[in-house]
Structure 1
């Protein structure tokens, strides 16, 4: 009888111990689930969306050519690309194409079986929900200003698991820009940036590529503080009267379309309009057309080249 009682006691202890272990196991599982320890990375993107990646992406489809070079710099795995006349690295030329940045072919993207899509804010937003409905995570990023480019490189470095390479690239860009700025005289320049198309002319704000570049060079943009257009937060309405009143030292022009045609049309207007002729920038021939390959679409990791291009136009003697 004593032996039987002893067996019952041992059995009871085993059952109690098992219950404790099960309880601890459940608590650990709940803790892991709540803390997300089984996920690879959580990102708050430029659209203020929280994106959880459960694993390191090995099949990335970027929806803008601007993302290609930064992805290569951090060893990101690209399986398809957009169609573009410029900005396609040699190693990506033979990749499957998924349409252009403004007209993405959703079926082609899904065919590429991506485990991550990288969308450009303001261009690809309408596609985000469709990809998410198909189980494809999407990170939305923006690369117009230099700070946005550096942020994008940092995020892509996290995604690819190569944060050290991202930091090195950012530092390299910063160093190149510092070297360019060191060549410039310490003086005040008031500038205007006009964006010309076949249809109209607008002025560029600090959030534009040219506006950000001018800010890096510490030029004073006469458009700073103007109310942006509803359709384009990087631009404001153009007014010749405002331009004359602001009296900029230098006028930069960015253009969309055939550069020579736009340049000819605009310069004819400048030469034949008495109001334009009152501007010192016009009198001193300091109206400069910025290269489209650096200022129409994001220069991305080539931002130092955009900074140098703008600086050279104003101070050509400093870059002999």
Structure 2
């Protein structure tokens, strides 16, 4: 009798474990999976869906393997295709894949045009109010939507992982991501220990000039490469650029100036010449006197570089550390 009583706790323990195992086998739910922890915004994954907390704070459940995808942001369409997906329509882009309907400019998209396409997934940017305003219409029509926030290099990695899971292509995409990360880490390691340059990142159109902070795509890359961005202030949460001030940048006296252009490059250069090159404070800055003012490749630094991130990092490293 004593021997039987002593065996009871062990028997009960084994029964509890067996129940847990059987319960797990009977459920389609499983935790979000990745090579390691995975993006924090992924909350749950089943065989047919992924639940995330999107950049707007909404908890949304997205269908896997959508067939009628519409993207309202060109860089995100490129990212979707990089993750093995396909789309039926998108906004105008020089790299629009064959067979994808051209919806024209982002500012010309009407809700009626979107609904007529009968999408089973919409990809939008959380940084444009006009696209955020579509949320209620999409919900009313039961159209799943994915708002994407993508400013930093890590955002690229995280969103690519999410999209590869949605497309069921994670096994094919993960090795490519590792190769990209390895190349970038090699570039970062290659400049460790070098004197960190002070950098000014300017953003110009044909009509206005501003400065990019470290929360911008290029600012983040400069920071990861050990550079010091002389523009620190972020007046509004989520903003990546601040108003241009000759006094503040002259006081920072950068070692080099990197200029991003949007629109006609020659028109942007004309504005810089008109507004800056005649200013004594501009001419007195070390970067200007030493000829270290560089216009950046739009394909790598205005648009999201996506799979070309290694090339973008290597290009920046060449500017920051010319003796590399």
Greater mean deviation of Cα atoms: 233-242 or 108-117: 108-117
Structure 1, residues 205-235: CA drift from partner, whole Å, max 9, x if none? Answer: 12212212212212111112x03358x7111
Cα displacement (A) at 1:37: 6.7
Query: Any residues of structure 2 matched to 1:219-234 within 5 Å, and which?
Result: 219-224=227-232, 226-228=233-235, 233-234=239-240
Q: How many Å separate the matches in 1 of 2:168 and 2:190?
A: 36
Q: Which has the higher helix share?
A: 1
Query: Any residues of structure 2 matched to 1:290-305 within 5 Å, and which?
Result: 290-305=296-311
Match of 1:3 in 2: none
Query: Any residues of structure 2 matched to 1:232-271 within 5 Å, and which?
Result: 233-271=239-277
Match of 1:64 in 2: 73
SS of the aligned residue for 1:275 comes to helix
Q: How many Å separate the matches in 2 of 1:240 and 1:175?
A: 39
Cα displacement (A) at 1:182: 4.3
Q: How many Å separate the matches in 2 of 1:223 and 1:168?
A: 36
SS of the aligned residue for 2:156 comes to helix
Cα displacement (A) at 1:302: 2.0
Structure 1 residues 271 and 58, CA, compared in 2 at 3 Å: closer, same or farther?
Answer: closer
TM-score, normalised by the number of residues in structure 2: 0.78
Q: Which runs of 5+ in 1 are unaligned?
A: 1-30
Structure 1, residues 58-101: CA drift from partner, whole Å, max 9, x if none? Answer: 221121111233222332231222112x343xxx1332122333
Q: How many Å separate the matches in 1 of 2:236 and 2:208?
A: 13
Cα displacement (A) at 1:245: 0.9
Match of 1:157 in 2: 164
Match of 2:91 in 1: 82
Q: How many Å separate the matches in 1 of 2:101 and 2:298?
A: 26
SS of the aligned residue for 1:179 comes to helix
Query: Any residues of structure 2 matched to 1:1-320 within 5 Å, and which?
Result: 40-53=49-62, 56-84=65-93, 86-88=94-96, 92-123=97-128, 124-184=131-191, 186-224=194-232, 226-228=233-235, 233-316=239-322, 318=324
Cα displacement (A) at 1:55: 5.2
- Please tell me the root mean square deviation across aligned C-alpha atoms, in Å: 2.6
Structure 1, residues 170-228: CA drift from partner, whole Å, max 9, x if none? Answer: 2122122123334437221110111122332211012212212212212111112x033
Q: How many Å separate the matches in 1 of 2:124 and 2:286?
A: 43
Cα displacement (A) at 1:284: 0.1
Q: Which runs of 5+ in 2 are unaligned?
A: 1-26, 30-43
Q: Bigger radius of gyration, 1 or 2?
A: 1
Cα displacement (A) at 1:259: 0.8
TM-score, normalised by the number of residues in structure 1: 0.79
Structure 1 residues 171 and 280, CA, compared in 2 at 3 Å: closer, same or farther?
Answer: same
Structure 1, residues 19-69: CA drift from partner, whole Å, max 9, x if none? Answer: xxxxxxxxxxxx999x99785221222222111135532221121111233
Greater mean deviation of Cα atoms: 130-139 or 270-279: 270-279
SS of the aligned residue for 1:140 comes to strand
User: Does the CA contact (< 8 Å) of 1:97 and 1:108 recur in 2?
Assistant: no
SS of the aligned residue for 1:57 comes to coil
Match of 1:11 in 2: none
Cα displacement (A) at 1:316: 4.8
